[in-house]
């Protein structure tokens, strides 16, 4: 049976085809958090990205499961590249 982080990763990977979904729950008792890096976010405001993310999760998770999540950030591959230029490799 998949845990919450696995379930969220699966749902987000299906909703954002080709995305790099990075999701973790560390330590295991903590609330899962992660990020979605997807070229489909290019030109989309952060608030709109989060709105779409919330819609996807609302359809795939129960209210209790959604309440068990921490933060999920959204980036484009270009945004990640800029951050890595400034700070070095992120992963």
Q: Looking at residue 91, what is its pLDDT? A: 60
User: Alpha-carbon distance 31 to 81, whole Å?
Assistant: 27
**pLDDT tens, position by position, 1-20:** 788 889 999 999 999 999 99
Fold entry, domain 4-87:
GMP Synthetase; Chain A, domain 3 (3.30.300)
| Each residue's pLDDT expressed in tens, for the chain with a length of 91 residues | 788 889 999 999 999 999 999 988 777 778 889 999 999 999 999 999 999 999 999 999 999 999 999 999 999 999 999 988 888 766 6
Q: Where are the domains of the chain?
A: 4-87
Q: Which residue pairs, CB below 8 angstroms and at least 24 apart, start in 25-33? A: 30/70, 31/68, 31/69, 31/70, 32/4, 32/5, 32/8, 32/68, 32/69, 32/70, 33/69, 33/70, 33/71, 33/72
Encoding tokens for residue 72?
A: 């999920």
């Amino acid at each position: 049976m998949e845990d919450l982080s696995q379930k969220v990763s699966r749902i987000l990977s299906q909703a954002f085809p080709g995305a790099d979904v990075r999701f973790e729950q560390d330590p295991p008792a903590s609330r899962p958090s992660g990020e979605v890096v997807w070229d489909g976010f290019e030109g989309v405001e952060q608030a709109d990205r989060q709105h779409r993310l919330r819609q996807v999760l609302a359809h795939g998770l129960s209210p209790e499961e959604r309440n068990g999540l921490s933060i999920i950030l959204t980036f484009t591959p270009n945004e990640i590249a800029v951050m890595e230029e400034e700070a070095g490799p992120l992963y």
